Structure 1
Amino acid sequence: MSIFSKIKQTLHLMKDIDLDALGKLSQKVDLSEIMKTVGELDDRQLAGLMKMLKHKGGKKGQHKLPPIDGDFYDMALKLSPQQRELQIKVRNFMEDEIKPIANEYWNKAEFPFQIIPKMAELNICGLTYKGYGTPDENYVMEGIIAMELARVDVSISTFFGVHSGLAMGSIYICGSEEQKQEWLPKMAKMELIGAFGLTEPEVGSAVAGGLGTTCRQEGDEWVLNGQKKWIGNATFADVTIIWARDEASDQVKGFLVRKGNPGFVAEKIENKMALRTVQNALITMTDCRVPESDRLQKCDSFKDTAKVLRMTRAGVAWQAVGCARGAYEAALKYTKKREQFGKPIASYQLVQNHLVEMVANLTAMQTLCFRLSELQDEGLLTDEHASLAKVFCSMRTRDVVSQAREVMGGNGILLQYDVARFVADAEAIYSYEGTKEINTLIVGRAITGYSAFV
């Protein structure tokens, strides 16, 4: 790490220091000499200094409480200064723009469309894709971003994951060069929003075994018939990726269905108990005609669809981490302020036991996902790697949000304390992108050599 990078990283951690106090400090010490010394520290010394800064205290004689931080093993130290800067940029956006409105829109089951231009300024869409106006970052950073989004609002994280991961990913992996050029640059800028239509009313886990939605070729067009269910963003998306079974070959093909296409109707699914801000749709296609030019040219079977799912399943595991982290940090903050019998409930043994179990689960999830993304960056990711992370993290998230609600007592069911929203949203994470049972069987097949699928 260069001296400049070390100073930059240290200054970033000093962002919360009172500027007036810093001015007074400059009258007592030579700040330029301090910064020179910081620049000469090795990584171990710098890590110690950063940890000390994190634990800076209050007034003299006051009990100094540690900061509320779900990164117990300091995983952020493994990021480069540039990556850490992006992480904080996304965190600030979520804290400033999303957190104040998250409960309102979740409660109304509406989407805050006004945040899309501001979100676009973060330049995080298609983070790991190369070219087409995308950032060209690594999968570790993509996971960190998914966590930061879900840490405040799982609904916004899901909206983003569908658009940037599933929809853009389908075009990136299965589209022709012409299709990539047409769609990806504008989707990267969030000028166009995407949706991903795979799951059906009667076909969820069994999609690999046969889709009910069909397609048949008639000249230079394809005719699509069938339904899709739980399709996020589909009520307003500019393009929806539709996967259908070819009546002639019985193989799966992918299509770019544009907004306003005749024969394509997306109805909002009402009365959800989770991810209420996400606009999920029931899609009905009746002789929906799509030109050959809008068929994904590099998709010839479900194996190609599975490539997209494998790529994005790691992101869902990171979402689970974010959901758990948001619940844990909210609960920890609450227990430090809530007093019973004359002192904060965080000082009681039973509450601390809950908090420790929560941070233990959260830390295990974080380290597992970090390694998962490293495998993805190294080109070693397998279906079973992604499935194990999805199984473990979605289960442990349920545990964390449950204990977060418990330590908050009756207030845990009120939206104003955020944890109630995390409790509900954890249920959606538990089910989508492969249920616990299906992902378990994928891992079971890998470790035993026997397939237990029906």
Structure 2
Amino acid sequence: MSDRLTADLAEGIARARDTDYLNMNALLTEEERALLAKVRVFGDRELLPIVNDYWERGEFPHEILPKLAALNIVGDTMSGYGTTPMSAVGQGLVSYELGRLDGSIGTFMGVHVGLAMQSIYQLGSEEQRQRWLPPMAALEKVGAFALTEPDHGSDSVALESTATRDGDTWILNGRKRWPGNATWCDVIVVYARDTADGTVKGFVVEKDDPGYSATKIDGKVSLRMVQNADIVLDEVRVPDDRRLVHCNGFPDVAKVLMGTRNMVAWSSAGHAVAAYEIALTYAQRRIQFGQPIAQRQLIQSQLVQMLADVTAMQLYCIRLGRLLDEGEVTDTMAALAKYYCSVKARDVCRQARDILGGNGITLEFHVMRHLCDMEALVTYEGTAEIQSLIVGREVTGSGAFV
């Protein structure tokens, strides 16, 4: 490969084409457009030059946290407590742009803001919000979210971790698997089943609590910068004032998860846009048999299919975000958007990798990183199969989970 082609591709990747075939931009407010531009500039300058190296090493770039804090993008429809007010579409655009750059950074923000902070915001008391949300909004404290267990992923409603009341404290026991940020976070929201009444309750565990331990999951080939962990809760004693007072069953947890499916849909669209832009740039510059491969019918057909899928994802996301802002979204709407966008984004990344040929497997061209990361997005916050069952139950009136 020529040095000129490599340079052209690097320039094309760093300078987004702003793929927007049906003018999604016209559906955004001025504030939303400004937010998108701000995150895009930050990502191109601060993230894109370093992500491949950190992804390959499987380490998190802690030095970006002060820069992320200065960007003031911690909001996710929350108000007050030091957060930055934004619409659901605005938060989606943050996830979209971070996804276009790197899935690990997008997932970090999704866990910290959409899961940990939103759990406290939606399910905590005013005192609990005042205690934890301001330092989390400033990224002075980092949060994690522990729901999934080694034996309970898709059926997390059946979680086995326990919480036993003992006077003014609760004793937590059990194991959790996959929480992002959990090896180095300051606070982690843990969901466990009350041994007295059988309901699921939420608790804020702090990293230095005796009996809490988190071990990094090694050997991942997806979201390698995210520090996922296996967690052990061994007689962890938590004061009652760290129990999220408005969490009284799994349906309360589901309300938090519904919002994160919006973010996963947007992030998936971002990955797909990145893959499409890279493939298009490559096809226009890669010469084979005396012509750019973009002049071949097969390549054009693939690019048009990718563009069609990307455009559909953008429209899905815009509509879902507006429904969230209007308070009209349902869990099945969020499930359908998460299902469609994550599955189609993975397809787009696969097609981009094909167009790049052998170069597609190298980190230099970024596509393989996006494809690997999409394998995680298809799975987390409810697998594609589970989302299809949620929507299938709604449209047919018959549950098919078992």
Q: Please give the range of the TM-score, normalised by the shorter of the 2 chains.
A: over 0.9
Q: How many Å separate the matches in 2 of 1:348 and 1:68?
A: 21
From 365, 382, 386, the equivalent of 1:434 is: 382
Structure-2 residue corresponding to 1:364: 312
Checking the alignment, whether the CA contact within 8 Å between 2:190 and 2:202 is kept in structure 1 is: yes
Whether 1:123 and 2:72 are equivalent positions in the alignment is yes
Report 1:83-102 matches (<5 A). 83-102=32-51
Distance in 2 between residues matched to 1:384 and 1:83, nearest whole Å: 26
Give the one of 385, 393, 397 matched to 2:345.
397
| CA apart distance, 1:110 | 0.1
2:88 alignment partner in structure 1: 139
- Give 2:192's aligned amino acid: A
Larger Rg: 1
Taking the aligned partners of 1:439 and 1:408, their CA distance within structure 2 comes to 31
Map of 1:235 onto structure 2 = 183
- Cα contact 1:203–1:211 (8 A) shared by 2: yes
- Specify every segment of 5 or more residues in structure 1 that has no aligned partner in the other structure, as ranges: 1-66
Alignment correspondent of 1:305 = 253
How far apart are residue 343 of structure 1 and its match? Answer: 2.3
Separation in 1, partners of 2:140, 2:385? 38
Q: Secondary structure at the match of 1:286?
A: strand
Within 5 Å, which residues of 2 pair with 1:59-78? Answer: 68-78=17-27
Give the whole-Å Cα distance in 1 for the aligned partners of 2:191 and 2:37.
37
Measure, in 1, the Cα distance between the counterparts of 2:260 and 2:375. Answer: 19
User: Is 2:337 the counterpart of 1:379?
Assistant: no
Which residue does 1:388 correspond to in 2? 336
- TM-superposed deviation, 1:112: 0.2
Following superposition, the deviation at residue 70 of structure 1 comes to: 2.0
| Aligned residue among 390, 395, 400 for 1:447 | 395
The CA distance in 2 between the partners of 1:372 and 1:80, in whole Å, is 16
Corresponding residue for residue 291 of structure 1 = 239
Instruction: Measure the CA separation in 1 of the matches of 2:101 and 2:129.
Output: 32
RMSD: 1.0
Deviations 1:245-304 (A, max 9, x none): 011110000000011111000000000010000000100011011110111111111111
Distance in 2, matches of 1:288 and 1:399, equals: 43
Match of 1:246 among 194, 197, 220: 194
Question: Is the Cα–Cα contact under 8 Å of residues 32 and 89 in structure 2 kept in the other structure?
Answer: no
Q: Note the C-alpha offset of 1:313.
A: 1.0
- How far residue 222 of structure 1 moved from its aligned partner, in angstroms, is 0.5
Instruction: Name the amino acid aligned to 1:89.
Output: K
2:285 maps to: 337
User: Structure 1 residue 85: deviation in Å?
Assistant: 1.5
**Structure-1-length-normalised TM-score:** 0.84
Counterpart code for 1:88? A
1:322 to 244, 265, 270: 270
What is the SS of the residue equivalent to 1:232?
A: coil
Once the two structures are overlaid, the 10-residue window that deviates more, 245-254 or 329-338, is 329-338
SS in 1 for 2:155: helix
- Partner of residue 54 from structure 2, selected from 105, 108, 113: 105
In the alignment, what sits opposite 1:154?
103
Out of 275, 291, 300, the residue aligned to residue 352 of structure 1 is 300
The residue type equivalent to 2:224 in the other structure is: R
In 1, Cα distance between equivalents of 2:226 and 2:283? 30
Q: CA deviation at 1:126?
A: 2.3
Q: What is the aligned length?
A: 387
Match of 2:124 in 1: 175
- 2:3 aligns to what? none
1:42 alignment partner in structure 2: none
Output the CA distance in 2 between the equivalents of 1:102 and 1:183.
Answer: 29
Tell me, which stretches of 5 or more residues in structure 2 are unaligned? 1-15
2:366 paired residue among 418, 421, 429: 418
Q: Which residue identity lines up with residue 113 of structure 1 in the other structure?
A: H
Distance in 2 (alpha carbons) for counterparts of 1:232 and 1:126: 19
- Code of the aligned partner of 2:282: Y
> Is 1:206–2:155 an aligned residue pair?
yes
Cα deviations by residue, 1:39-71 (Å, 9 ceiling, x for unpaired): xxxxxxxxxxxxxxxxxxxxxxxxxxxx83322
Q: How much does 1:348 deviate?
A: 1.7
Are 1:264 and 2:221 counterparts? no
In structure 1, the residue matched to 2:9 is: none
Q: How far apart are residue 369 of structure 1 and its match?
A: 1.1
Answer yes or no: is the 8 Å Cα contact 1:126–1:169 preserved in 2: no
Question: 1:402 aligns to what SS in structure 2?
Answer: helix
Letter in 2 for 1:326: A
What secondary structure sits across from 2:55 in the alignment?
A: helix
Looking at both structures, which has the greater relative contact order when contacts are Cα pairs under 8 Å and sequence separation is at least 6? 2
Give the residue type in structure 2 aligned to 1:439.
Answer: Q
